[in-house]
């Protein structure tokens, strides 16, 4: 695994493992254990995923030291507010079976973004979380919390893949040294279908998913792919032994269609 640093100096792996929709207890434990054995050292979960307990169980049973795994979770929309967020964080820690998180995020922009962010700042200042950030925030959502913030978010986890590149938001976050994480970086396989991705896979002797994940990393974006198969998990980690040329990066950049899977953060009705 290779690492980069967040703006506060805390190290984060360059690629992580997403756990969305892995909520069956036995399957969740097995899948996360398999991911850790394959070499993943960043686990991304959330209260909403309903699997924090199983992710924590898998981590404890892995034999790895807690300090060697970057553990991230998120506060859900119905827990926004200062006191509510502090309570939600305590609940997540209890379920995960740990006394700290490496990263805690606001899952979606909702009402009480400012109060929720103030709670995250408190948790950070108390040393209960190593880094704090947001998820699915657009520029104006970030502007809202930063008007009164003491700490600028260190991470913004958003939908990001060749067909939905959010270039304006990406540039905004890079100016503020906010690291982007990409959920659904392969767009459930849709991002692998363009002919240019297949052509580049043949050129570099790699798979289409490796081409897309390498493109993420060279854009300074941390992808969070998910798979339940060991072979695919290992395949997705095989991105550190080659580099895409500038011309080939530009070919993928040209695929942007504004096509996305997730909800519009300006219309969060859940």
**Residues with catalytic annotation?**
49
Residue 129 has what DSSP assignment?
Answer: B
- Reduced to 3 DSSP states, what percent helix, strand and coil does the chain have, rounded to the nearest 5? 45, 15, 40
| Strand-pair partners of 11 | 5
CA distance 191 to 194: 7
Query: CA 111, 113, 118, 119 torsion: positive or negative?
Result: positive
Local structure of 2: helix, strand or coil = coil
Hey, which residues does 71 pair with through a beta bridge? 43
CA pseudo-torsion sign 74, 76, 77, 83: negative
> CA–CA separation, 72 vs 45, rounded Å?
6
Q: Are 256 and 167 in contact (CB under 8 A)?
A: yes
Instruction: Number of helices (H) and strands (E) in the chain: give both, helices first.
Output: 10, 10
Q: What residues contact 232, with CB distance under 8 A and at least 6 apart? A: 209
In terms of DSSP H, where are the helices of 63-138?
A: 82-96, 113-125
Residues in the chain: 270
């Amino acid at each position: 695994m290779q690492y980069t640093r967040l703006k506060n100096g805390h190290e984060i792996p360059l690629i992580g493992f997403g756990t969305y929709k892995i909520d069956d207890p036995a399957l969740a434990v097995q899948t996360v254990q398999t991911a850790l054995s394959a070499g993943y050292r960043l686990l991304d979960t959330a209260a909403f995923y309903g699997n924090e307990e199983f992710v924590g169980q898998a981590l404890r049973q892995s034999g790895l030291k807690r300090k060697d795994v970057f553990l991230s979770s998120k506060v859900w929309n119905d827990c926004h507010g200062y006191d509510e967020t502090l309570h939600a964080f305590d609940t997540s820690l209890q379920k995960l079976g740990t006394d700290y998180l490496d990263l805690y995020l606001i899952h979606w922009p909702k009402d009480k973004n400012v109060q929720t962010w103030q709670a995250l700042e408190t948790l950070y200042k108390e040393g209960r979380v190593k880094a704090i950030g947001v998820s699915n925030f657009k520029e104006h959502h970030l502007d809202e919390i930063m008007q009164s913030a003491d700490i600028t978010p260190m991470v913004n986890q958003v939908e990001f893949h060749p067909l939905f590149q959010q270039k304006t938001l990406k540039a905004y976050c890079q100016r503020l040294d906010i690291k982007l994480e990409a959920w659904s970086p392969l767009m459930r396989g849709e991002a692998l279908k363009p002919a240019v991705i297949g052509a580049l896979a043949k050129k570099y002797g790699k798979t289409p998913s490796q081409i897309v994940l390498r493109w993420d990393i060279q854009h300074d974006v941390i992808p969070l792919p998910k798979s339940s198969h060991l072979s695919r998990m290992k395949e997705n980690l095989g991105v550190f032994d080659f580099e895409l040329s500038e011309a080939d990066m530009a070919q993928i950049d040209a695929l942007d269609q504004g096509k996305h899977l997730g909800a519009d953060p300006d219309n969060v009705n859940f």
